[in-house]
Amino acid sequence: SPVIQQAALDHLGLPVRYHAWPVLEEDLPGGIDRIRQPKYLGANVTIPYKETVLTMLDLLDPLAESVGAVNTIVNRDGILEGHNTDVTGFLTSLMESADFEPKSIRALIFGAGGAARAAIFGLVDAGVEIIGIANRTIERGLALSQEVSGKIEVVVLPIAGAGLSDYASSANLIINCTSMGMKHSSAEGVSPLSAASISNSALVYDMVYTPSETPLLKEAHKAGAKVVGGIPMLVYQGAAAFELWTGRKAPVEVMFHAAERFLSENADSV
Ligand code: NAP
């Protein structure tokens, strides 16, 4: 985020610096309060505080309230507003990077954390027909399914096995919202699905962006499916936050270029 946001600010000649602030949990209330100072436009919030900050803000955008997570804070004259641009970023990336309309489709989501919540709430809003949720900790998958079960049909699936494979083969959209396959993680090199369970007419989306071709995307390529990686969501959620802070249209191409250049120049360390 510092790389893409600073590139956008500099491109528009705005005299603003974007800094990454590591914050300990006990310092979070003080850190959030500090953003009320006139010199701050706002902040992003990332793992593990996207839910914790909800009670520390003055106003919540209705989308952030229904998702139950905030990734963007806007300082309006000392009043702190909480927003969730992960949902917007995810839906925009589907449209802009894959020309994919998620209405009346069958979706399969791996994960039940913050990223999965953003994808699921976005898909429900967009009119998806049925969502399958597969998560390592099945209780988290069940709890998330209960939050949306009144709005659409939702099934909770095991993380492996025939039930998962059958559902996956008929899914139009498959999304990895876990750290499976992420470089330097405990699940580096792991794909949640193999090519045999992926239809060639599906769109396969991986929120993980290191490496650029994740194990899941490799399997999707073998199956002949279309793919989207994690950079578009990163850029579009950042662009939506940028627009909230500055009131200016985000230079999306500049942000894409900055993200891609940074990730290729730092391929060994990120
Ligand atoms: P989170 O809230 O911590 O959730 C992590 C999820 O990954 C949980 O479902 C967890 O399952 C699962 N998981 C973790 N390690 C696993 C393993 N070894 N095997 C199987 N499942 C595992 O994190 P998050 O915010 O949802 O982020 C999830 C991923 O999405 C991260 O890789 C993150 O970088 C990526 N992401 C990308 C973007 C983007 O803009 N492209 C935005 C947000 C997130 P349990 O419930 O069983 O622990």
Binding site membership of 233 for ligand 1 (Cβ less than 6 Å): yes
Which protein residue's CA is at the shortest distance from atom 43 of ligand 1? 115
Beta strands across the sheet bearing 42-44: 42-44, 72-76, 79-83, 59-60
Which protein residue's CA is at the shortest distance from atom 3 of ligand 1? 113
In this structure, are strands 130-134 and 79-83 parallel, antiparallel, or unpaired?
unpaired
Confidence (pLDDT) at 268: 75
Measured between alpha carbons, how far apart are the two ends of the chain, in Å?
Answer: 13
The residue type of 151 is K
Q: Is the pLDDT of residue 270 over 90?
A: no
Which protein residue's CA is at the shortest distance from atom 36 of ligand 1? 207
Verify whether residue 50 is a known catalytic residue.
yes
The residue type of 160 is A
Binding site membership of 116 for ligand 1 (Cβ less than 6 Å): yes
What are the tens digits of pLDDT across the range 140-167? 999 999 999 989 999 999 998 889 999 9
Percent of the chain with pLDDT over 90: 94
Confidence (pLDDT) at 160: 87
- Cβ proximity of 3 and 262 under 8 Å: yes
The closest of 225, 236, 189 to 108, measured between CA atoms, is 225
Binding site membership of 234 for ligand 1 (Cβ less than 6 Å): yes
What are the tens digits of pLDDT across the range 108-119? 999 999 899 999
Tell me the CA–centroid distance for residue 182 and ligand 1, in Å: 9
Confidence (pLDDT) at 106: 98
What are the tens digits of pLDDT across the range 6-17? 999 999 999 999
Residue 266: pLDDT band with limits 50, 70, 90: confident
Residue 269: pLDDT band with limits 50, 70, 90: confident
Q: Is the pLDDT of residue 211 over 80?
A: yes
Please name the helix (run of DSSP H) or strand (run of DSSP E) that holds residue 44, with its range, or none.
Answer: strand 42-44
Tell me the CA–centroid distance for residue 111 and ligand 1, in Å: 6
Collapsing DSSP to helix, strand or coil, 125 comes out as helix
Confidence (pLDDT) at 54: 96
* Helix spans in 27-152 (H): 28-34, 62-67, 85-98, 114-126, 138-148
Tell me the CA–centroid distance for residue 110 and ligand 1, in Å: 9
Beta strands across the sheet bearing 203-206: 153-157, 130-134, 106-110, 173-176, 203-206, 226-228
Tell me the CA–centroid distance for residue 196 and ligand 1, in Å: 24
**Atom number in ligand 1 closest to CA 192:** 20
Which protein residue's CA is at the shortest distance from atom 39 of ligand 1? 234
What are the tens digits of pLDDT across the range 235-264? 999 999 999 999 999 999 999 999 999 999
Annotated catalytic residue, options 39, 50, 103, 218: 50
Residue 47: pLDDT band with limits 50, 70, 90: confident
Confidence (pLDDT) at 267: 77
Is the sign of the CA dihedral 233, 117, 174, 153 positive or negative? negative
Confidence (pLDDT) at 204: 98
